[in-house]
Chain A
Amino acid sequence: MLTLNVNGVHHRVDVAADMPLLWVLRDRLGLTGTKYGCGVGACGACTVHIEGKPARACRTPASAAAGKRVTTIEGLHSRAAKAVQAAWESLDVVQCGYCQSGQIMTAASLLAANPKPSDADIDAAMAGNLCRCATYHRIRAAIHDAAKRLA
């Protein structure tokens, strides 16, 4: 039995200790906003926040997340996150949308740490989040837009 704190709620889950957090979230807790893209830490679709920092849920054993604060897209309510989501909607960033939970999780933590990122800052922070639809052009614009909303 592990106790996980996800989006402020404590869950007791009976899973193998090596089960990745991703599958606990998706298959046990029904939090399907966090996506599976590669399973090897190479795409960012599964990005969540652990103690406020972006982490790859597919490479995080559930046991390693026990006792820590986990935030998923469903529980993302920070000011930076709201600005990011509003910018994403106003610029219609999404296409298929499958990568976008991960993009938004990463963008929200970028803006929380750096409220006025340059293009180079954005590239550095976001380069691990793949988007097969290549919505990158709008992701960049939306992060700048979100920074303006936060200013």
Chain B
Amino acid sequence: MNELSIANASRRDFLKASAGLTLAFYLPSGIAAKAGGAASFAPNAFVRIGSDDSVTIVAKHLEMGQGTYTGLPTLVAEELDADWAQLRVEGAPADAKRYNNLLWGKMQGTGGSSAIANSFEQMRRAGATARAMLVAAAAQRWQVPAAAITVRRGVVMHTASGRTARFGELAAAAAQLPVPEQVTLKSPQDFVYIGKRVPRTDSKSKTHGTAMYTQDVQLPGMLVALVAHPPRFGGKVKSFDAARTKAVRGVVDVVAVPSGVAVLGRDFWSAKRGRDVLKVVWDEAAAFRLGTPEIVSRYQALLDQPGIVARKDGDAAAALAGAAKRLTADYSFPFLAHAAMEPLNCVIRAGADLCEVWNGEQFQTGDQDNIAAVLGIKPEQVWINMLYAGGSFGRRANPHSDYLVEAAQIAKAIRGRAPVKLVWTREDDMHGGYYRPLYLHRLAGGLDAGGRPVAWSQRIVGQSIQAGTAFESAMVKAGVDRTSVEGAANLPYAIPNISVDLHSPKLGVPVQWWRSVGSTHTAFAVETFIDELAHAAGKDAVQFRRALLAQHARHLGVLELAANQAGWGSALAPGKAGEKRGRGIAVHESFNTFVAQVAEVTVRPDGGFGVDRVVCAVDCGIAVNPDVISAQMEGGIGFGLAAALYGEITLKDGVVEESNFPDYPLLRINEMPQVEVHVVASAEKPTGVGEPGVPVIAPAVANALFAATGQRLCKLPLRLA
């Protein structure tokens, strides 16, 4: 695979014809496109075939590590019968008319592990359409019936006469033909790429330091902006003194914006040095001032009161009262920062009726709307150039476009005088809010005399992520934010009496989705509590679950696969003297993907522990690229483990206490377990894999720690007594 360019059509055309250009960069939806060479052929918004034989796939989804820039071209290549080495990937411009996420209605964006799920047919159709037109062009040229023509690995062939042509040779002729209305997609048994490993398209550039991230964008005359933010959420600038800042070499300007005071410099270091000596007086009249302990005690009071019902089967209270055995447990989950390796940033160039943005862009439509509102232009006048994101885990899809709006405010404050790269330092990023909310859960369960569960009740307390966002009307129904209860309200276990209810208190800490969203907490509470019930019933954790999952074949499938592959039931090799070992399992569905994991732990005499091995089974329907799926499970396990071991954002008097990796540790290589991933063979439609590996590891580890030590841990991060 050649090095990929991720330059984007809008950018290139903008450069070609910048002066006075309005919106002429859009590719025509019909025949020849102007981008990519004179004789290029673009039958639709997703595929462009150049006379140089290159096949460019326009990717509508952000590549943030999860493999979209490999998965999306795989789907096109499959139906086009292209050679993998011909493919190039280009980020789509912001244009929801053509590039909306089919699972998000009219909005363009990436999230909810939906990239492959929503594109599976669309991208295959795009490839099949291009193929049909190349075949038609060859049929015309060779005067043979289209049905007698085959295509293999980028070569169009008429076997009877031995004639062949490469795509590039047919591109110009194909561009003159009508786009077919109907195309036939391959049957799965004919797939040559789907289901096999194809190499990632971004490996080469990312191993040679040439991949372009937002942080790497340099424009002529560009200034770098750092913003002094208020120390507490809800604070505002009262006044500032920039005298010393302006004396710093390389500082060009200092401007107030609604979110703080921006220092603009010729480079990062100048702006940073300038900000270090800036004096700001903050207006904290409306600032948030609670600390974590106070938040927790307020939430605890809510745990005692009934919430809004999210699920009610039978009568859980009565069944609990009549149960032979009752168990209860309270859980607590801290705020979590996304802490992507690339701190938040974006580049913006604002003109009178055009604003151009460079970003690892996760939510085009919302960001266009919000930036346009700041600048007083139309959303379609906000052009977004797609770059790789150095991780995101949800953070770059902010419903309020926080950092993009901040960049737009800076551009506005300097009246578009220069392009601006807004850079958040690691500390800014960690203090910047939009955390996974803090949640408390209260679980209660009852067993009958035979050890069968008869009652399950779960109460959840925590902020709504969707309240006040563009998603609220779709995601919050009758007071229940679906993302607060997902993974709990859809409890798969066959228990006759189930109650799940919810409190969504308002709090001045900005919150957001964090890789696997509601399942980050619900999977832990559900999967450790079911384990506790199994133990109380005197049953094996796998058998207990299996008996309750008869109606859920896919849960059962991954549960059994993981258990078998892990040697569930066999004795674990003993640890060194004084060490204790244990094995635990958990199973969970998120984003329509099913994952089970078995974790093996070793507890040291000092109470420290390590996770040695994880066996993971995943059912995500048709496995488009099994290697990318494995990578997402491996990475998801490591990401989930970081939260299980360390993840915790705390507040004191409203101030976030953590600021950088020394006090918000991430997982290190020496803490990464051996991971084995087993992908279930399936003919179901493909579902996402970016998130579903994450939520399962913490409960599997907690259950393993219980097996090793007898201690039930209900508070994250996990700490043994």
Q: How far does the Cβ of B420 sit from chain A's closest Cβ, in whole Å?
A: 14
| Contact B672–A136 (Cβ < 8 Å) | yes
A26 to B421, CA, bound (A): 13
Q: What does DSSP make chain A's interface, helix, strand, loop or mixed? A: loop
In A104-151, the 8 Å CB interface with B consists of 104, 122-124, 126-127, 129-140
In A6-65, the 8 Å CB interface with B consists of 15-16, 19-20, 23, 26-28, 30, 32-40, 42-43, 45
Q: Which residues on A sit within 8 Å (CB–CB) of B268?
A: 23, 26-27, 36
B393: nearest residue on chain A (CB-CB)?
A132
B423: nearest residue on chain A (CB-CB)?
A36
| Contact B661–A97 (Cβ < 8 Å) | no
| Contact A130–B666 (Cβ < 8 Å) | yes
A130 to B667, CA, bound (A): 7
Q: Which residues on B sit within 8 Å (CB–CB) of A74?
A: 208-210
B204: nearest residue on chain A (CB-CB)?
A89
The digit string for A71-84, where 1 denotes a CB below 8 A from any CB of B, is 01110000000000
Judged by a CB distance under 8 angstroms, whether B331 is at the interface is no
Judged by a CB distance under 8 angstroms, whether B375 is at the interface is no
A92 to B639, CA, bound (A): 18
The digit string for B671-709, where 1 denotes a CB below 8 A from any CB of A, is 010110000000000000000000000000000000000
Q: Which residues on B sit within 8 Å (CB–CB) of A137?
A: 634, 638, 672, 674-675
Judged by a CB distance under 8 angstroms, whether A70 is at the interface is no
B390: nearest residue on chain A (CB-CB)?
A98
| Contact A94–B660 (Cβ < 8 Å) | no
Q: How far does the Cβ of B625 sit from chain A's closest Cβ, in whole Å?
A: 10
Q: Which residues on A sit within 8 Å (CB–CB) of B393?
A: 132
| Contact B635–A135 (Cβ < 8 Å) | yes
Judged by a CB distance under 8 angstroms, whether B343 is at the interface is yes
A40 to B667, CA, bound (A): 17
A32 to B423, CA, bound (A): 15
Judged by a CB distance under 8 angstroms, whether A93 is at the interface is yes
B391: nearest residue on chain A (CB-CB)?
A96
| Contact A93–B207 (Cβ < 8 Å) | yes
If A92-B627, A123-B670, A129-B669 touch, whether A33 touches B208 (CB-CB below 8 Å) is yes
B64: nearest residue on chain A (CB-CB)?
A96
A28 to B266, CA, bound (A): 10
Q: Inter-chain contact count A-B, CB under 8 Å?
A: 180
| Contact B668–A45 (Cβ < 8 Å) | no
Q: Which residues on B sit within 8 Å (CB–CB) of A36?
A: 215, 268, 343
| Contact A123–B669 (Cβ < 8 Å) | yes
| Contact A89–B203 (Cβ < 8 Å) | yes
A105 to B637, CA, bound (A): 25
| Contact B340–A92 (Cβ < 8 Å) | no
| Contact B203–A132 (Cβ < 8 Å) | no
A23 to B426, CA, bound (A): 15
A9 to B719, CA, bound (A): 51
A132 to B393, CA, bound (A): 10
Q: Which residues on B sit within 8 Å (CB–CB) of A135?
A: 631, 634-635, 638
Q: How far does the Cβ of B74 sit from chain A's closest Cβ, in whole Å?
A: 13
Judged by a CB distance under 8 angstroms, whether A4 is at the interface is no
Judged by a CB distance under 8 angstroms, whether B200 is at the interface is yes
Q: How far does the Cβ of A30 sit from chain B's closest Cβ, in whole Å?
A: 7
Q: How far does the Cβ of A59 sit from chain B's closest Cβ, in whole Å?
A: 13
Q: Which residues on A sit within 8 Å (CB–CB) of B391?
A: 95-96, 98, 132-133
Q: Which residues on A sit within 8 Å (CB–CB) of B202?
A: 94, 97
Q: Which residues on A sit within 8 Å (CB–CB) of B339?
A: 132
Partner of A97, one of B206, B218, B635, B641: B206
Judged by a CB distance under 8 angstroms, whether B377 is at the interface is no
| Contact B669–A33 (Cβ < 8 Å) | no
Q: Which residues on A sit within 8 Å (CB–CB) of B669?
A: 122-123, 126-127, 129, 131, 136, 139-140
Q: How far does the Cβ of A41 sit from chain B's closest Cβ, in whole Å?
A: 9
Judged by a CB distance under 8 angstroms, whether B587 is at the interface is no
If A30-B218, A134-B639, A135-B634 touch, whether A94 touches B342 (CB-CB below 8 Å) is no
| Contact A32–B660 (Cβ < 8 Å) | no
A95 to B340, CA, bound (A): 12
If A73-B209, A100-B206, A132-B666 touch, whether A32 touches B215 (CB-CB below 8 Å) is yes
| Contact A16–B209 (Cβ < 8 Å) | no
| Contact B661–A92 (Cβ < 8 Å) | no
A89 to B210, CA, bound (A): 14
A134 to B218, CA, bound (A): 29
Q: How far does the Cβ of A33 sit from chain B's closest Cβ, in whole Å?
A: 2
A39 to B342, CA, bound (A): 12
A94: nearest residue on chain B (CB-CB)?
B206
If A37-B426, A92-B199 touch, whether A134 touches B209 (CB-CB below 8 Å) is no
The digit string for B586-628, where 1 denotes a CB below 8 A from any CB of A, is 0000000000000000000000000000000000000000011
The digit string for B207-223, where 1 denotes a CB below 8 A from any CB of A, is 11111110110100000
Q: How far does the Cβ of A115 sit from chain B's closest Cβ, in whole Å?
A: 19
A23 to B265, CA, bound (A): 13
B677: nearest residue on chain A (CB-CB)?
A137
| Contact B341–A132 (Cβ < 8 Å) | yes
Q: Which residues on A sit within 8 Å (CB–CB) of B670?
A: 123-124, 127
Partner of B208, one of A23, A85, A95: A85
Q: Which residues on A sit within 8 Å (CB–CB) of B380?
A: none
Q: How far does the Cβ of A4 sit from chain B's closest Cβ, in whole Å?
A: 15
Q: How far does the Cβ of A114 sit from chain B's closest Cβ, in whole Å?
A: 16
Q: How far does the Cβ of A20 sit from chain B's closest Cβ, in whole Å?
A: 7
Partner of A88, one of B203, B213, B273: B203
If A32-B215, A89-B204, A92-B627 touch, whether A20 touches B639 (CB-CB below 8 Å) is no
Q: Which residues on A sit within 8 Å (CB–CB) of B635?
A: 95, 133-135
Q: Which residues on A sit within 8 Å (CB–CB) of B218?
A: 27, 30, 32
Most buried by B among A15, A16, A94, A95: A95
In B183-240, the 8 Å CB interface with A consists of 199-200, 202-213, 215-216, 218, 224
Q: Which residues on B sit within 8 Å (CB–CB) of A19?
A: 269
A40 to B675, CA, bound (A): 31
Q: Which residues on A sit within 8 Å (CB–CB) of B66?
A: 95
Partner of B65, one of A96, A126, A139: A96
B641: nearest residue on chain A (CB-CB)?
A134
Most buried by A among B206, B249, B638, B660: B206
Q: How far does the Cβ of B543 sit from chain A's closest Cβ, in whole Å?
A: 30
Q: Which residues on B sit within 8 Å (CB–CB) of A26?
A: 216, 268
If A23-B268, A38-B660 touch, whether A100 touches B425 (CB-CB below 8 Å) is no
Could you pull out 29 A-B pairs where Cβ atoms are within 8 angstroms? Answer: A27-B266, A32-B209, A32-B212, A35-B213, A35-B215, A36-B268, A38-B661, A72-B209, A92-B631, A95-B67, A96-B389, A97-B202, A97-B205, A97-B390, A98-B391, A100-B206, A101-B209, A123-B670, A126-B669, A127-B670, A130-B667, A131-B666, A132-B666, A134-B637, A134-B672, A136-B669, A136-B672, A137-B672, A138-B634
Other A-B pairs beyond A98-B340, A140-B672, 5, CB < 8 Å? A32-B216, A33-B208, A96-B341, A97-B205, A133-B638
Lowest 8 CB-CB distances: which A-B pairs, in order?
A33-B209, A134-B638, A98-B390, A97-B206, A95-B65, A96-B65, A73-B209, A27-B267
